[in-house]
Chain A
Amino acid sequence: MNKTVKNPRQPNMGRPMKKAKKGTFSRLMKYLFSFYKAPFIIVLICIALNSLATALPGVFQQNVLTDAQEGIYLIHPEKIEVSDETKREYPDLSEDEQLVIEKEKLLNKWDLPLDTFNNGGKLTPKEALEVVYPSIVKVVIILICIYIIGLIAAFTHTRTMATVTQGFLNKMRNLMFGKMQTLPIKYFDTHTHGDIMSHYTNDIDTLRQLVSQSVPQIITSVIIIVTVLFVMLYYSVWMTLLVLCGVAAIALVSKKIGGGGAKYFIRQQQALGKSEGYIEEMINGQKVVKVFNHEPKSKEEFDKLNTQLCNDSTKANKYANTLMPIINNIGHILYVFIVFVGCLLVVLKVPNLSISGQSMSIPTVIIFIGMSKQFTNNVSQLSQQANAIIMGLAGAERVFELLDEESEVDNGYVTLVNATHDENGNIIESAKRTGMWAWKHPHGDGTVTYTELKGDVRLNEVDFGYTEEKIVLHDISLYAEPGQKIAFVGATGAGKTTITNLINRFYDIADGKIRYDGININKIKKSDLRRSLGVVLQDVNLFTGTVMENIRYGKLDATDEECIDAAKRANAHSFISMLPDGYNTVLSGNGSGLSQGQRQLISIARAAVADPPVMILDEATSSIDTRTESIVSAGMDALMQGRTVFVIAHRLSTIKNSDVIMVLDHG
């Protein structure tokens, strides 16, 4: 088991960016909806309201400025010009007559007497303000209302989104973890732990990005773009076309630069992968490096890779870092063009084309400045998010891959039940814990038979290989009678551990039969089969928690006394008592504060408390020094009493009192 655990914080670098499958997005949305239907709909509504509140105020600002400008006209009637509207309505009149009508319209609008402008009459600024200001205030009040709605929507959106995102991620994590528990051991043997871990770190992170940022941002941008487009068309088709030209230019440039950048970005990722791979290889093999005095060469080699990485990443970054200022400044150029063209249209009195039918005016130009900014910003947001969406969907797909992995199949129907003898000596099921166990074997014809659990294990001509081509075990036959101690010895890789993997059905055999108390183990429910087997492995795995909790892991409803008793039997009691908090000492990092031997003793106590009829000890004492071993083996001997025991060991001392010793060599 040489799995190098990759650093889980490492980002997705070097992983092939696969295009997400088609259904991934809809599946993701389905999950999102099924978990948080109402809140998610609220969020969507809020996003829509907020986007409108961002896009619409332009209209009202234009109104305010128009009113202000008309106020100025009231002060300076000589500046009044004939609007497109009037020209359309009275095409036959001369320009002077049109101007008179225009002035009348203005006076009518503000409820002023029609003779106000006669004989050079005009309003003072103060009078003009009194005339137009109530209207401005009215518009501003509407504006404030829109802002308040926008604020409430934004607030509700972000708050609800916090719940939805975190809740969603939590549910996904739980789904993954739950699923992971059902996967067969084979999955864990064939995937690196780093890869499995990255589902919980990298993939969840990209999902967070996707759900909390990309998706809302895209919805926002689309709504704003559409709304702004309509508002722009409302005021002026010509100016809208100008803005669209600008957007096209931005799209073109970013495609060009982005395209060039993508090439170098891929190179950068490759160079990064290479140099990180090299770092990993050299640091992992550093002891060899030192033994061979290879440091200068490895430095030299790394220098090459590092320089390459620097060159490639500089190029890639140059593209990325120049793209933003270029797009920004194209925005500025567009801004200048809007002002120029807008002013030109106003000065030259070019007939306007718009939904509203209004003519071009300075307030309209000003509003276009703001709207063109909004428009271009959201278009570039959209293109940025597109990338994030692709990455996020790739992450989602990897999560789904895990969720779609095939669970461990369990067709077993023979179950383990508490049993007792009735007065006739027949075995019957009992609801209580009786200390006696039996296999409940339902038959096709509806009858049920009970077989007492004894611990008789037989292997019959078993063939097995982890892959089809390579057979590890060949034609193995073995009989273990209840209470016997069977020892396996043999070189590393001879297949000792494999046999135990087969007995508890971590793997299924290719050919042959394994019988447990006369029952084919394929018929036994896996969970019950495993419950009847106690395993102490070479690699001790303790879990974060107290010593007591770790021992209780063997039998969750064990009382403290039972746990202590088990620890005593495993000879673990004395050292546990010496720990600072005794049985309540908290272990972390796989019991890093304890010695190998102590950890092994706890794991033996853990198996002892489970009290199974069959025990498998896989190199359980190999990591313990000989002195401790004698203590441990005393504990184990006590444990082995009256049980069928399979022992795998290097050392003879462990296996000297075995009933049968099996020597394995290449299966």
Chain B
Amino acid sequence: MFKNIKRLAGFIGEYKKASILSPVIVALEVVMECLIPFFTADLITYVETGDKSQLLTKGIVTFVENNISTNSLAVTGFYCGILIIMALCSLSFGALAGIYCSTASCGFAKNLRRELFNKSQEFAFENIDKFSTSSLVTRLTTDVTNVQQSFMMIIRTAIRSPLMFLFSIIMAFIRGGKMAFVFVVVIPILLFGLITVARKAMPIFKKVFKKYDTLNASVQENVHGMRVVKSFVREDYESDKFQKASDDVASDFTRADKILAFNNPVMLLCMYTVMTCLCLFGSRLIVSSDNTIFRIGDFSALLTYGMQILMSLMMLSMIFVMITMSSESARRICEVLNEETTIKNPENPIYEVKSGDIDFNNVKFKYAQRAEKYALCDINLHIKSGQTVGIIGGTGSSKSSLIQLIPRLYDVTEGSVLVGGVDVRNYDIVSLRDAVSVVLQKNILFSGTIKENLRWGNENATDEEMERVCKLACADEFIQGFPDKYDTYIEQGGTNVSGGQKQRLCIARALLKKPKILILDDSTSAVDTRTDALIRKAMREEIPDTTKIIIAQRISSVEDADVIIILDDGKVVGIGNHDSLLASNAIYKEIYESQTKGAKMS
């Protein structure tokens, strides 16, 4: 945990000044706040007795009497002036501390968020798979907010409360003398009470929070599986099940809350004890000492300090809980920060990709070290620049895994992948990925105009270039149909265009890179057959030198390819062109027949 704190503290960075000033100024504010009741007590005693000899601050009175006026009103006024100035100082310090603390905590969060985001951008596919996107998003949002809140607490409240406690105790002893021993009796009771409650309640809370998460997870499970629930008519069964789990959580929560319920009475008990003792013994001391050892003015000061002491203890116990809770967030953040990206640039990278040749030499690949099964096994392929290659195979046959090795989205486990005759691991990653353009199966458009989305392929693309690639991808026709044409705004996730349109835009975006190798991973599945054919024709004619790899479900998408590769269960089970495969490969034949038969029927 301390390692995490140290790690996170590094992100204070340029906000160091504010982070240090904030607690310092808070300390000053506390001093002022403790001095105000101190002076007030003397003022009250002065008004009460009209006698300065009893005062702890009689110097002030002497000063006023010597320099201004001996009138008691003048002295009172002077005291009040001092008090007002103190209150104003305290106000300015408080406000200033608030400002520094905001600057520091927001800046800290900014640095942290930036580093996390940059780090996540550096992640290779493998790292992303490991964390899962939703968990990464949580770490960058909720967890950062939690840590930011704690940081703010630490540089402000966590400084303020102990100081307040300390100063108030000191002041109470100076003012109240032996009356202040009341606090010595009460504070251990309160501390003991608070700690016992926390120690009893915390484990229950930890347990119940886990149960609560499970409960929410089961709701999620239910929402996801609603079709199953309804299909089997299990609505009542699910409700009963949920109710039982929920009752269990509720009873645990109640138990924990009931323990926590002791906090308030313990606090009240201490406060009331202080009050009672002050009334009972304080008043006795006032009269018996003839208002000398303990004065009516001191009574008011002790009341105020008593409140401050007890409040600061309460705050401390709250801070403790807060920080414990956010330490989990800190751990999760550090996990991301400490994660090393698995794919790095080589030491002397090659920046130029010579050609679109692709070679797979004895490639074996699995997604995780500990995975037992290889996703790809013994792959040997040799593709020449400018060829069109079709890949076909069932879901789960590792088609996507195969092509993701080419732009080095994953590294092979064994063997090697060569592009342009060079091992992909020797290229500069940016250069390699610029030369290899992939249209991913799960493709995504980003919020922004069509133009902005296309420019992902090439930032400096002209309007003409964009139109050209869109014509190639058969996207121009529907874009022209939009009222805003190329400036049409795409919603997040591309929800306002149809699946087929999205796929064509993604192809256009990839084409804009002018790649040496173009890979389409099931990228025309939602495009109708005719358009699909048009796109392939355009590619054959317009970019003949680019190596084109097409993964498809439909035989028609690949039948005119130079080479067709059939994958099954991570292995190549057939290579050849349409005619030779139709003659020799049983799987291919079967797929072909099924699809042509279907076509005839419709």
Contacts and interface: CB of A to CB of B under 8 A. Distances in A.
B219 A197 contact: yes
A625 B444 contact: no
B270 to A, nearest CB: 11
B268 A322 contact: no
A170 interface: yes
Given A177-B239, A291-B438, A279 B279 contact: no
Contact of A8 (B216, B269, B430, B597): B216
Contact of B238 (A181, A275, A490): A181
A495 interface: no
7 shortest interchain CB distances as A-B pairs: A325-B94, A652-B594, A541-B225, A321-B98, A162-B257, A158-B261, A170-B250
Interface bracket on A: 35 or more
Contacts of A650: 394-395, 553
B444 A309 contact: no
Interface in A148-194: 150-151, 154-155, 158-159, 161-163, 165-167, 169-170, 173-174, 177-178, 180-182, 185, 188, 193
Contacts, number: 448
Contacts of A280: 137
- Helix, strand, loop or mixed for chain A's interface? helix
A5 B262 CA distance: 39
Contact of A188 (B98, B121, B223): B223
8 contacts: A126-B288, A166-B257, A286-B123, A290-B409, A291-B407, A299-B118, A365-B44, A590-B224
Contacts of A314: 102-103, 106-107
Interface stretch (A86-94, A332-340, A575-583): A332-340
Interface stretch (B79-87, B183-191, B348-356, B535-543): B79-87
A313 interface: yes
Nearest to A286: B128
Contacts of B594: 489, 651-652, 655-656
B544 interface: no
Looking at A11, A161, A290, the one whose CB has the most chain B CB atoms below 10 A away is A290
A333 B85 CA distance: 9
A345 to B, nearest CB: 10
A472 to B, nearest CB: 13
Looking at B395, B553, B595, the one whose CB has the most chain A CB atoms below 10 A away is B395
A284 interface: yes
Interface in A253-282: 275-277, 279-282
B284 A129 contact: yes
B224 A193 contact: yes
Given A7-B141, A159-B261, A292-B513, 11 more contacts: A151-B265, A284-B133, A287-B442, A291-B409, A344-B76, A347-B73, A348-B73, A369-B304, A489-B594, A491-B525, A531-B233
A294 interface: yes
Contacts of B73: 344, 347-348
Interface string B581-602: 0000000001101110111011
A140 B247 CA distance: 46
Contacts of B599: 663
A8 B304 CA distance: 44
B191 to A, nearest CB: 19
Given A140-B279, A291-B409, A324-B98, A125 B434 contact: no
Contacts of A527: 233
A622 B253 contact: no
B95 A325 contact: yes
Interface stretch (A64-72, A349-357, A562-570): A64-72
A306 B117 contact: yes
B40 A626 contact: no
A541 B279 contact: no
A133 B284 contact: yes
B72 A347 contact: yes
A493 B36 CA distance: 75
B107 A322 contact: no
A363 interface: yes
A314 B429 CA distance: 38
A333 B84 contact: yes
A653 B275 CA distance: 86
Given A181-B235, A288-B440, A290-B433, A188 B226 contact: yes
A626 B569 contact: yes
A665 interface: yes
Nearest to A5: B134
Contacts of A75: 287, 290
Nearest to B594: A652
A321 B99 contact: yes
Contacts of A348: 73
Looking at B99, B156, B290, the one whose CB has the most chain A CB atoms below 10 A away is B290
A663 B598 contact: yes
Nearest to A7: B138
Interface in A69-102: 69, 71-72, 75-76
A329 B444 contact: no
A291 B440 contact: yes
A128 interface: yes
B269 A286 contact: no
Interface residues of B, number: 161
A333 B594 CA distance: 88
B236 interface: yes
A64 B283 contact: yes
B53 interface: no
Contacts of B103: 314, 318
B95 to A, nearest CB: 4
Interface string B405-448: 00101000000000000000000011001100110101110110
Interface stretch (B108-116, B314-322, B477-485): B108-116
A627 B222 CA distance: 31
A376 interface: no
B47 interface: yes
B515 to A, nearest CB: 10
B220 interface: yes
B113 A335 contact: no
B107 A174 contact: no
B277 to A, nearest CB: 10
Looking at A68, A188, A363, the one whose CB has the most chain B CB atoms below 10 A away is A68
A281 B76 CA distance: 66
Nearest to A174: B243
Contacts of A284: 133, 137, 444, 493
A293 to B, nearest CB: 5
Contact of A298 (B121, B231, B499, B526): B121
B295 to A, nearest CB: 10
B249 A170 contact: yes
Contacts of A277: 492
Contacts of B444: 284-285, 288
A530 B287 contact: no
A539 B128 CA distance: 23
A72 B297 CA distance: 14
Contacts of B98: 318, 320-325
B276 A132 contact: no
B342 interface: no
Contacts of B237: 556
Contacts of A72: 286-287, 290-291
A585 interface: no
Contacts of B137: 7, 276, 279-280, 283-284
Interface string A580-600: 000000000110000010000
A299 B97 CA distance: 32
A61 interface: yes
B299 interface: yes
Contacts of B232: 530-531, 553-554, 606, 610
B324 interface: no
B202 interface: no
A106 interface: no
Contact of A136 (B114, B123, B261, B284): B284
Interface string A602-625: 010010001000000000001111
A147 B276 contact: yes
Nearest to A173: B246
